[in-house]
Amino acid sequence: MSNQILIFLVDTILGLFSLALLLRFYFQLLRVPYYNSVSQFLIAVTDFIVRPARRFIPGWAGMDLSTLVLAWLLECTIIASMYMVQGYDFEINIVTSLGVMGLLGIVEIIKTTLYIVLMMIIMQAVLSWVNPHSPLAPLLDSFTRPFLAVFRKRIPPVANVDLSPLFVLILIQVLLMVVAGVNKEIVAMLF
């Protein structure tokens, strides 16, 4: 019982912080407006660790790699701590174990990214019907525009209804299935 509570707490606290780091990375990458409450919140929550990390992890091609690397390290920490609590012995083959934890961290970053895009598109679709002039609308539009643009170029609106979110959501579901399969393959390398 105490192991389950520990796993829950580690996963929740570090997972939420990793999510904040990922959102900050994607907001900067996709040029989401800086002066909105969500962006300001993410910067305030993560700045204490991102600023020092920038000294050691430089940006590349306009990307803030320190934020992404920190999110990946947190995911690796979450995964490794879960295996340790469950009794996995990392000393059996430390190199393989560390490599697998790193790969599982990458898979977790990809999965979380897909869920972020999924939720942003759903929120944008709901807001476009309920309250299109919401303060969140520009933020969601900036974030989802690159993903929706691929389908908007090829699929015209039907009776003034944009179907591109539907196709992006279907693609994300397929990609999540692929990621789950890759995750199983990587976990199998541990045993």
Contact 168, 151 (CB under 8 A): yes
Closest to 43 measured CA to CA, from 23, 63, 60, 69: 23
10: its two tokens: 């580690």
Low-confidence ranges of the chain (pLDDT < 50): none
Closest to 27 measured CA to CA, from 116, 100, 121: 116
pLDDT of residue 51: 93
Q: Rounded CA gap, 108 and 122, in Å? A: 21
pLDDT of residue 20: 97
Measuring CA to CA, how many Å separate 63 from each of 23, 24, 54, 55, 69?
13, 11, 11, 15, 11
Contact 68, 26 (CB under 8 A): no
